[in-house]
Structure 1
Amino acid sequence: MTNQKHLFALDEGITYLNGAAYAPMLKTSISKGTEGMLMKASRPFTIDPKSHFDPAERVQKLFAQLLNIDNPQRVAIIQAVSYGMAVVANNLHRLPDISAKKQIILIQDEFPNNVYAFERVCRQLSLSYHTVAKPDTLENRGKLWNESILNAITHETAMVVVPHIHWIYGVKFNLAAISERCKEVGALMIVDATQSVGAMSFDVDAIQPDAVICAGYKWLLGPYSIGLAYFGEFFDEGIPVEESWLNRINSEKFAQLIHYQKVYRPFAQRYNAGEYSQFIQLPMLEDALSQILDWGVDTMQQYCQSITQKPLEALQKLGCRLESEAYRGHHLLGISLPQGVDNQAFTEELLSNKIIISNRGVAIRVSPNVYNKEDDMWALVEVLEKSLK
């Protein structure tokens, strides 16, 4: 694979290593969004029932292909990760033997959405949070952290909420092993895959999660305010967050909408967010998903590895530390700077050189993609070398 920057609408002269915050968009996706905007703005007479359903179904099929989901109807179109987590919270009371459960397991320094989502339901169901701490050492941190999660899961566990890739440290969690342990004790496993899906392989059939929730504006290269979620069998007869007319059977028959329906569309379709037939965002996301599938996420991972390997070796020689390769991806790097180098000051120095990363307090986060090249990483190394002089 070669550098793909020419396909993106990135400003020239900017070294953008911050795809884990906001991804730039493909030029073709922007064109699709413009077409959708104009359809609503100046050609509303062209909007028909199919306009509400066909683009959504295409997006669901593409996402299902990306995650190896056998049934695209298990994919819901949501507004944000918080919406998907709200669906989970709204249905936790349906878990068999929930009265015997005592804990929801989270990991330390989890993204706030995945903490706030369950505070109310914890009070309602008399559950508490059990936070699995990050190991104090960087040596074998990923391995030790994964072991601690598995050891924490017991028959008192109602649910484990875990990312695929930690949003700060870049640690990769062994979802297949966690899922297997959850099934042994009758707990749900809910995955926030926002920082992995679209950039690295994710196989629902192999992992067997109960839900996978993903924002669209990061590694899926889509617009803001749209996301996608997989909901497994536990959620098939569940309670949606809202009662959208689009989510009921026969809703495509506009002339019959006053024949109110009690039955939802099948599988996860009851969880589609209201007005999910977004004439701007959906075509943009469809275009981006098609391009990602065309590239192949394994190819994208290999490309990120190829452009980061040597610069990372140089950063480590300068005193930086990061997760071992066995427990991280190549697209999201949580880097601890050498002692004496301030994260914020270094981030601002990079910015003055038009190099964009994220300061996440306890680490800097460097997140390249196919629009980057090895020289972008070397530019970061060069700024650090100057900072250490």
Structure 2
Amino acid sequence: MQCQKHLFSLDPAIHYLNCATRGPFTQAVEAAGVEAIRQTTRQIHTLTPPDFFEPAWNVRRLFSELIGNDDPERIALIPSVSYGLAVVARNLPRKPGLAKGQKIVLLDGEFPSDVYAWERVAAEQGLSIETVPMPEGTSVGRSWNERLLAALDASTCLLVCPPVHWMYGVKFELEALAARARDVDAWLVVDGTQSVGALPFDLAQVRPDALLCASYKWLMGPYSLGLGYFGEVFDDGIPLEETWMARPDSHLFHQLTHYRRDYRPKAFRYNVGEQAQFIQLPMLEAALRQLLDWGVATIQSYGKELLAEVLPRLAELGYGLEEEGYRAHHLLGLRTPPGLDVMALQRSLSERQVYVSARGSGIRVAPHVYNTPEDANALLRALESVV
């Protein structure tokens, strides 16, 4: 793939290697948002009941194609990953066989939302939370996966695991972990925010019980909108909200007071209220279409090629990097050499117009198809200058 920077409106003077914090809009996504605002202000009289539902259906279908899901009814529109996690926590007490003394398994250094979500339900149900620590050293992927797999036993009721660690870019072997979770009758919840859209994800192979993604990073959509896949274990679950749009025949506006106590099928009950999102859904639709056009595997390969010559030099300079087999190419954690403060390093890079994130014990580099070889070289020069 050739660089796609021409599809964006990025300042040519900056080197933005920070998609893991927020993905920039393509010009098409920006245009979709502007047009949606115009429609809302200038064509408001043309609004019809289908306009409340059809854009959401388009997004469900596109997201399903992205993750290999053959049933768009299993996709819910959520405002955030924490909302989707709250759905799971709300329904965990309904899990068959759940018993006091069972455990929820998490990763060390996980994103806060993936930790806080379980504290209340664990206390109420008498569950424990086991955090699997990250091994010492630079290359930890293999041993961390082994530790996580070993933690899954008959006492496990829930595993929460991303495809890629949000700070360090370590890849987790989700297919093996999912198989083990099924063996011990544990639910698997995947936070795909830092991977789906840039790293191939095969729903049919992983078979998670829930997959949750924020829109504004690797899906390259707007903030405060996300998508959640909910498997069969949630089909008769309890939603966080009792929204009118989740009910059968809710598209028949002239009959809305014919109250229904049942829900539309599968994941519809978990949609956030006001799911129509007249401005943001067209933007997310445009973003998903572009991702499908590029191809997720191509995005991953682009990141690998972009940094192929830079990473060996950084290793020579003392920056720690995960071994390739357990390293994502769209999100890399560079451990800083001893004595180098990560916040000072981030500030130094920003002064050179190189934008990355300080996370944990290193910096997080997150390239995309808008990045150029000059961006990679600017990163190298900036990191060389401080050691």
Q: Give TM class, smaller chain.
A: over 0.9
5+ residue gaps in structure 2?
none
CA distance in 2, matches of 1:157, 1:264: 31
- Are residue 9 (structure 1) and residue 9 (structure 2) matched? yes
CA distance in 2, matches of 1:30, 1:261: 38
Q: How many residues align?
A: 387
CA distance in 1, matches of 2:339, 2:82: 37
Q: What pairs with 1:97-112 in structure 2 (closer than 5 Å)? A: 97-99=97-99, 102-112=102-112
- Are residue 247 (structure 1) and residue 246 (structure 2) matched? yes
- Are residue 344 (structure 1) and residue 343 (structure 2) matched? yes
Paired residue for 1:67? 67
CA distance in 2, matches of 1:25, 1:216: 11
Q: Residues 278-305 of structure 1: CA distance to partner in whole angstroms, max 9, x if unpaired?
A: 0111000000000000010011111111
Paired residue for 1:369? 368
* 50-59 or 374-383, larger mean C-alpha shift: 374-383
Amino acid at match of 2:272: A
Q: Residues 332-372 of structure 1: CA distance to partner in whole angstroms, max 9, x if unpaired?
A: 00001222322111111110111100001311000000000
Q: What pairs with 1:48-127 in structure 2 (closer than 5 Å)? A: 48-99=48-99, 102-127=102-127
Paired residue for 2:220? 221
CA contact (8 A) 2:336 2:361 kept: no
Paired residue for 1:205? 204
CA contact (8 A) 1:101 1:155 kept: no
Paired residue for 2:271? 272
Give the secondary structure class of the aligned counterpart of 1:98: coil
CA contact (8 A) 2:101 2:128 kept: no
Paired residue for 2:168? 169
CA distance in 2, matches of 1:148, 1:385: 35
Normalization by structure 1: what TM-score? 0.98
Deviation at 1:56, TM superposition (A): 0.4
Paired residue for 1:384? 383
CA contact (8 A) 1:101 1:157 kept: no
CA distance in 1, matches of 2:232, 2:167: 31
5+ residue gaps in structure 1?
none
Q: Residues 40-92 of structure 1: CA distance to partner in whole angstroms, max 9, x if unpaired?
A: 22322111111111110000000000000110110111000011001100100
CA distance in 2, matches of 1:240, 1:296: 33
Deviation at 1:124, TM superposition (A): 1.1
Amino acid at match of 1:303: Y
Deviation at 1:12, TM superposition (A): 2.4
**Alignment RMSD (CA, Å):** 0.9
CA distance in 2, matches of 1:113, 1:40: 33
Deviation at 1:102, TM superposition (A): 1.4
CA distance in 2, matches of 1:48, 1:25: 28
Give the secondary structure class of the aligned counterpart of 1:183: helix
CA distance in 2, matches of 1:314, 1:63: 38
CA contact (8 A) 2:100 2:126 kept: no
Deviation at 1:138, TM superposition (A): 2.1
Amino acid at match of 1:346: L
Normalization by structure 2: what TM-score? 0.98
Q: Residues 203-261 of structure 1: CA distance to partner in whole angstroms, max 9, x if unpaired?
A: 11011110000000000000100000100010011111101101111000001000001
Deviation at 1:273, TM superposition (A): 0.5
CA distance in 1, matches of 2:9, 2:278: 21
* 364-373 or 101-110, larger mean C-alpha shift: 101-110
CA distance in 2, matches of 1:91, 1:280: 31
Give the secondary structure class of the aligned counterpart of 1:387: coil
CA distance in 2, matches of 1:11, 1:123: 49
CA contact (8 A) 1:153 1:182 kept: yes
Amino acid at match of 1:80: S
